[in-house]
Amino acid sequence: MPAPQRAPLRRALLASGTLAALLLMPPALADVSPAAGLPLEEQVEICAACHGSDGNSTRERTPSLAGQPPLTITNQMIYFRERLRQAEEMTPQARGLSDAEIQALAAYYAEQPVAAPAGEPDADLMARGSELSRSQGCASCHTADYSGREQMPRLAGQREDYLVHAMRAYRERTRGGPDTTMIDIMRGVSDEEIAALAHYLAHAGQ
């Protein structure tokens, strides 16, 4: 369990030693996202390096952001920024972004069209994944077409390898964050079941 993350601030405050400096300072000084303070078009170019120029990721184990509900992206970015969800890649990208910057990025990606998934669906895997999704109740939060809702992400059209990665991380409790719903859902789900679910969800709506 990490210590409360305010040691860098404390050092900075001690160095400055004045209340006036305290009033002007953002919550953390040590690391600020390269995207902080840039216009949206330039911020999106930074995100594009991993998440694709149109928000459809072409990079292994990296999620697509296109078509995600705005609150999904907003909340996850705030979890990264506040170090509530541990992710070495994303926390440095999120530190120092304001709520308004995060919400503008989320609104942008929510509007981007979702690309068709790579490869043809496998009929057996689709049937097995559909059955598992029913028994796990995926649609009750992620909606009947798996397009997501509010803080609950779109699964339809997401990268299959990312879905596998995310579900395994929940099962192994390596994906932290304040919302533990998925840890409860994924407890004890086998690799074979995760593979079928990921294939089905990635191709859902095709």
Partner 1 sequence: MPPACLKRLTLAVSVAGLAAAGSLTAALADNHQPAWAQGRSAEMADSPLAPHATPLTVTAREDIPLDHLRLPDGFSAEIWAHGMPGARMMARGDEGTLFIGTRGIGRVYAVLDNGGDEREHRIIAEGLTQPNGVAFKDGSLYVAAINRIFRYDDIETHLANGELPEPEELTEAFGLPDDQHHGWKFLAFGPDGRLYVPVGAPCNGCEVDPDTHATIHSFEPDGSDMRVEARGVRNSVGFDFHPETGELWFTDNNQDWISEHGPNDELNRLSETGEHFGFPYCHGVGVIDPELGDADACNGTTLPAATLDPHSAPLGMRFYSGDMFPEEYRNAMFIASRGSWNRTLSAGYDVRVAMISYDGERAGMSPFLVGFLDPRENTFSGRPVDVLQMPDGALLVSDEQNGAIYRISYETPSYME
* Known binding-site residue numbers for heme c: 47, 50-51, 90, 138, 141-142, 182
Shortest approach of partner 1 to residue 179 CB, angstroms? Answer: 8
H or E stretch covering 167 = helix 160-171
**Any idea what the Cα angle at residue 192 is, between residues 183 and 204, rounded to 5°?**
80
Stretch that binds partner 1, among 12-20, 112-120, 159-167, 197-205 (CB under 8 A): 12-20
Strand partners, 152: 149
Subset of 45-84 contacting partner 1 (CB under 8 A): 71, 74-75, 78, 82-84
- Ramachandran angles phi, psi of 120, nearest 5°: -85, 145
Name which of 75, 91, 89 is nearest 178 in CA terms. Answer: 75
Residue closer to partner 1 by CB (options 54, 82) is: 82
d(CA 173, CA 134): 23
Q: Which of 45, 181, 191, 206 binds partner 1 (CB under 8 A)?
A: 181
Helix (H, G, I), strand (E, B) or coil at 206: coil
Question: Tokens for 22?
Answer: 């305290």
Count of residues that bind partner 1 according to CB under 8 A: 51
Shortest approach of partner 1 to residue 133 CB, angstroms? Answer: 11
Residues at the interface with partner 1 (CB under 8 A): 1-2, 4-6, 9-10, 13-14, 16-23, 27-28, 71, 74-75, 78, 82-84, 99-100, 102-103, 131-132, 135-137, 140-141, 150-151, 178-181, 184-190, 193
